[in-house]
Chains A and B, each alone.
Chain A
């Protein structure tokens, strides 16, 4: 087992190198020059000042040299400085924003799980009744609303002094105050509610699987009450597969909030990612890509390990 883990971990740096190479090349060989973006259409790109700038940013060296420099620095933890935000360290820039996105994702995940898991558990018990299809349908409905429609509608309902909801003076609409500030409500809802569907289905399927098991039947025949069976056996076992995908969800959510962030003005990593691609802010682009890739690789590994830990039948050679 440990062999396997070590091998997977060793693969990560190599993965990062390949990813960084691909990203690097795609951008450098494609159109668009960060210097021109910095200048806008207003200044003469052939002037001496610009030449100085080019040297300063290291853009005058041959491609492979640039890549080598970048990689060496990267593996030492130095992500360079942003082009657009001159002089600001990429690491500081990204970590501030990633922290924001992480908080948002956490809040969204909380919503998804606290609603989704109990619901899934509940409807698994109600097979054959109307609750099962009804709830699943509702979940799918919520999941199908395009985010860019959901957010403004939520804002409209919750944020403005609304005539329909008396005594509701509205919560602030934009900006960011951290995890415990009320302004997180709308974005967390818009990201979390669609996710409910996933957890409901998973929990439902998993619960049903567990309920089928022989040991549950044994518990019944032992005379244990339904409630005890549920809490001590069914729930605990049903939740295991959910846990394995949690790490994925978190990793995925971090990148997925772009629309919400843009509309609501949240200083998260999504907006920075979009902006940096359009700005050709290479250091930021590379850093975000590599960090996200790293996250995913680790999340992948964690999920696989948890799976193996949980199900002794799975062996990794």
Chain B
């Protein structure tokens, strides 16, 4: 959902889990033990050598360590980036959520019911759902949370995106109403939400933190920083320590409504640093493998190779976008020619060491709703040259200047872009100037739709529905359509698909839409994240690498 530049892909630590090095001696004289753990391993520590410790039940399960960054916020209603979301989904929860297979599942809601018009959702809340402070979760809490999320005081930038389909929400946000009409509390454990049209992706949107349930007293009492002082949620973990810039510690919630959890503690180090080195030094338990370490780690002789885990590709795509109102990109053949001239396979393999998968279409592999039979624009030099000749801009001397703009905060242009530019020059004699601007300026120009060609961006799914990709990026009225792409046939199809109830028909509509988009060559789709490699310490079990941010830490087990 934010920029996913190649350089970032290579350098950012994706995930790390850790097992504490300074473990303590836990000679468990086990008494009534909810988790029924057998005695943990005995390892020495400076303080507790030899002493018999009768630990309380709550402390077994082990600790994980991973690297993370300072989240901009931990308030679920203000969350909009993965750094915050990764922690928020473990501390808080909403009516529905996504599991590690990215399926929509019940969370706080025990069940839900949709009426025949497809616009009225009735949720029954679990009886055993409690906040971390012991209070039971009621329908009033849900209503209050949703209203708070959309309120003017909260000023959440994403409320409209995720909750905007609820009837009466916009009025409430503008201050014209003092409650949301579409929210109705039926009884203590039942709440009804009415949306403005039968949109099947509404539930998927509801899995996002914007709709998570909060404790009204805690939030009102805590003021603006309530989540720093007292983040009371309903999720599998409690936030027990947060030192800005240093670390975050999550501790198991023993009253979790979805069942008991094995792992005791998760420690996240916020300072950053060289993750590979830390992993090798046993300071953290999981690390992503960057471009430069890949060869070493893939070598079967290397002891680290045993820890290697392959992660499924993420649901994100990086691309080059064309502004179709600015010449020479108003000519479809020219755009197509540029597409055909790139040898993506070679770049993915040789330059980027297979960390990416070439993309010839928009939806990533494995994405729900993706149809198989879409023809993309592959590598064909002759066809590229031919199309160039047929286009209006075959003559390089009369062609308008082409500038590609990329955001550059790290100081380097993605290698892939440099190679692509070179290919365009060699095959088609098309010269492109690069302009690198820093992120804030880039965003501003992007928003003004002033960029002729833009790259260095990625688009990551927020919820697993094709609408999040195809509609939001290519509908002519969408704000994220930075290239001013406008095609009325496409618009019609997309609008139909928004409210189509029949799943198969809907998939077919999106297939047609994607085919049009690919043919029109509004973009050069570049890469889907390829197989990501990660190293996980063998004692950590149950860690699932997922293409989107979903709660997953509750499934962890540490075995010694």
Binding site for B on A (CB under 8 A): 31-50, 52-53, 55-57, 81, 84-89, 92-93, 96-97, 100, 155, 159-161, 170, 172-176, 262-267, 278-280
Contacts and interface: CB of A to CB of B under 8 A. Distances in A.
Contacts of A172: 278, 281, 283
B75 A44 contact: no
B31 to A, nearest CB: 36
Interface string B208-224: 00000000000000001
B444 A33 contact: yes
B219 to A, nearest CB: 12
Contacts of A85: 70, 72-73
B440 A33 contact: yes
Interface residues of B, number: 60
Interface in B269-317: 269-275, 277-278, 280-281, 283
B196 interface: no
A55 B152 CA distance: 9
Contacts, number: 175
Given A85-B72, A263-B274, 12 more contacts: A40-B3, A41-B446, A43-B161, A49-B156, A52-B152, A52-B154, A52-B173, A55-B152, A159-B281, A174-B272, A265-B273, A266-B271
A43 B2 contact: no
B479 A31 contact: no
A265 B16 CA distance: 15
Contacts of B441: 31-32
B73 A87 contact: yes
Contacts of A280: 440
B174 interface: yes
Contacts of B1: 40, 42
Top 5 A-B pairs, shortest CB-CB distance = A174-B273, A267-B245, A265-B273, A32-B440, A265-B272
A160 B280 contact: yes
B544 interface: no
Given A37-B439, A174-B273, A96 B244 contact: yes
Contacts of B188: none
Interface string B421-441: 000000000000000001111
B457 interface: yes
B387 interface: no
B157 A43 contact: yes
Contacts of A93: 244
Contacts of B283: 172-175
Contacts of A262: 272
A45 B80 CA distance: 14
Interface in B230-256: 244-246
Nearest to B175: A52
Contacts of A32: 438, 440-441, 443-444
A168 to B, nearest CB: 12
A266 B246 CA distance: 8
Given A42-B462, A52-B152, A96-B245, A174 B73 contact: no
